[in-house]
Amino acid sequence: MAISFDLILRGGVVVNHDGEGARDIGVRDGKIAEIGVASTADAGEVIDCRGLHILPGVIDSQVHFREPGPTHKEDLETGSRAAVLGGVTAVFEMPNTHPLTVTKEAIEDKLARARGEGGHGGMFCDHAFYVGATHGNPQQLAALEMEPGVAGVKIFMGASTGDLLVEDDEGVRAVLAHGRRRVAIHSEDEYLLREGKARAREGDWTSHPEVRSVEAAVRCTERLLRLARETKRRIHVLHISTADEIPILAAHKDIATAEATPQHLTLAAPECYERLKGLAQMNPPIRETHHREGIWRGVAQGVIDVIGSDHAPHTLEEKSKKYPASPSGMPGVQTLVPVMLDHIANRRLSLARFVDLVCHGPNRIFGIAGKGRIATGYDADFTIVDLKAKRVITDAWSASKSGWTPFDGMAVTGWPIGAIIRGRRVMWSDEIIGEAAGAPVRFQEAL
């Protein structure tokens, strides 16, 4: 009697802990049931993956969908559409939204919206939400970080878009002293950022890296590491923008993990500001080429643990305001995979290292239960890519409400062909299939 599965992926090159190899995958009840399926096995659905690579489902551990924001820059449905069209199967959303995700009620509200309740469209990808730290809620954080669907706690040490800010050592120490899961931090020194505002040149976006200086990033990361040592708390430093922070972080890998973004690995000042103007503005800033190269060295040396998109969309109308009135942030969840695949094609990155950065890395540092690997018993989440496909990223392809991308017109080699989440084909060949059915990500420390 032939073995039967719900789904078989046939003929693809599987990339997992065992290396790369042509193996068929059998899926049953939303889980990976067998790697190396016999040719005689049958299934309710068989997907021909010949010529394609099958990766673990890509996890974007930093997005800002803004939902339900007063100007509707994004919502959970449109943000998750962009995610799956880009081959991303799970996202962690940041708390600087409206209303702020700082209470149990706000977490429950987000999860309800993600399910499509209350007239909302629901999320197509799996998801988790960060809890925002404030000066007023440290005592509640140990309980909040254990709530279902919570990715952990987030601290903004430098002001960015939104209303969350814990800039002082005493406040950060209080947050780190309550709870035990890894804490994610936006690391820019608020005191130096306030001084830097005087360096803004109206209408000149090339002054943005001067306003939010290298010193502001470095000083804050040094302060943060000292506080993490004091409180014996694991931390995750987001969107590294300077070459200077790489050796500092390398000396503290026992407690600190770090993230880079495709933007900081691809764009460089002043060219990006001269060409894109406000569309290149994000926090912390895109900096000069030597900083970009320094972050790449951090990737090569293993100092950078994950790549996240920092998807933070604003409308073109908002972005057209003269600097410094223009808001910071750019869409990125949909372009993460194709931009990084192009770096693979250009030999800046290996495919195995990419999988480590966007699958194994998030699994490892956040303690994700059952995602981030192609292994028997794990969720059947797959990002299926064509490493030879040549495409051009365009604004028209963007599913974000913002309707643009800083990579418009960029020719890339490598493209996401499919996204499968818990055994269900959600995207194939640039089309979304079926209804929104995303579910909360589970975490080992909160089970």
Q: For 143-198, write each residue's pLDDT tens digit.
A: 999 999 999 999 999 986 667 899 999 999 999 999 999 999 999 999 999 999 99
Residues 244-270 pLDDT 10s? 999 999 999 999 999 999 999 999 999
Same domain? 360 vs 401: no
96 or 355: which carries more pLDDT confidence?
Answer: 355
Distances (CA, A) of 215 to 145, 218, 238, 243, 285: 31, 5, 16, 11, 12
pLDDT value, residue 74: 85
Residue 442 lies in a domain: no
Nearest Cα neighbor of 209 from 324, 123, 347 is 324
Same domain? 19 vs 94: no
Same domain? 85 vs 108: yes
Catalytic choice (126, 305, 310, 386): 310
Distances (CA, A) of 330 to 47, 157, 236, 239, 285: 34, 20, 21, 13, 11
At 79, which helix (H) or strand (E)?
A: helix 76-85
Number of domains in the chain: 2
Residue 185 lies in a domain: yes
Residue 302 lies in a domain: yes
Q: What is the CATH number of the domain that holds 39?
A: 2.30.40.10
Residue 216 lies in a domain: yes
In angstroms, the CA 447 to CA 141 distance is 17
Reading the block at residue 158, the tokens are 């430098």
Give helix then strand counts, H and E, for the chain: 15, 19
The identity of residue 169, as a single letter, is D
Distances (CA, A) of 418 to 74, 113, 114, 256, 311: 23, 25, 22, 33, 20
Q: Quick one: what percent of the chain has pLDDT higher than 90?
A: 94
Torsion angle of the four alpha carbons 76, 79, 81, 86, in this order, in degrees rounded to the nearest 10: -150
| Alpha helix stretches (DSSP H) within 86-234 | 104-114, 138-144, 169-176, 190-196, 208-211, 214-231
Same domain? 67 vs 50: no
pLDDT averaged over the chain? 96
Reading the block at residue 115, the tokens are 């399910």
Same domain? 21 vs 63: no
Tell whether omega for the bond before 416 is within 30 degrees of 0, i.e. cis: no
Last residue of a domain, one of 337, 366, 395: 366
Give, as one character, the DSSP assignment of residue 320. Answer: T
Nearest Cα neighbor of 284 from 361, 220, 227, 195 is 220
- Residue range(s) defining the domain that contains residue 300: 57-366
Residue 445 lies in a domain: no
Residue 268 lies in a domain: yes
| Alpha helix stretches (DSSP H) within 145-213 | 169-176, 190-196, 208-211
3-state secondary structure of 226: helix
pLDDT value, residue 97: 78
Q: What is the CATH number of the domain that holds 341?
A: 3.20.20.140
> Could you tell me the pLDDT band of residue 384, with boundaries at 50, 70 and 90?
very high
Q: Is the dihedral of CA 270, 273, 274, 276 positive or negative?
A: positive
310: annotated active-site residue: yes
pLDDT value, residue 162: 62
**Range scoring the smallest mean pLDDT among 66-80, 233-247, 375-389:** 66-80
Residues 63-105 pLDDT 10s? 999 754 455 568 999 999 999 999 999 999 999 877 789 999 9
Same domain? 316 vs 202: yes
Same domain? 46 vs 150: no
Mean pLDDT of 6-23: 97
Same domain? 249 vs 383: no
Last residue of a domain, one of 366, 392, 412: 366
Nearest Cα neighbor of 306 from 344, 351, 260, 239 is 260
Mean pLDDT of 42-63: 98
The identity of residue 261, as a single letter, is T
3-state secondary structure of 44: strand
**Range scoring the smallest mean pLDDT among 53-67, 172-186, 372-386:** 53-67
Same domain? 24 vs 98: no
Residue 443 lies in a domain: no
Distances (CA, A) of 301 to 249, 375, 385: 11, 26, 26
Mean pLDDT of 357-384: 98
Same domain? 37 vs 64: no
Same domain? 131 vs 172: yes
| Alpha helix stretches (DSSP H) within 301-394 | 316-319, 336-345, 351-355, 361-366
Same domain? 17 vs 103: no
In angstroms, the CA 341 to CA 280 distance is 21
Last residue of a domain, one of 341, 366, 391: 366
pLDDT value, residue 100: 85
Q: How distant is the alpha carbon of residue 101 from its chain centre?
A: 18
- In the numeric block, the tokens 């818990």 are attached to 422
Give, as one character, the DSSP assignment of residue 154. Answer: E
Residue 167 lies in a domain: yes
Reading the block at residue 408, the tokens are 């418009």
**Range scoring the smallest mean pLDDT among 16-20, 227-231, 421-425:** 16-20
CA angle 211, 212, 213 (to 5 degrees): 95
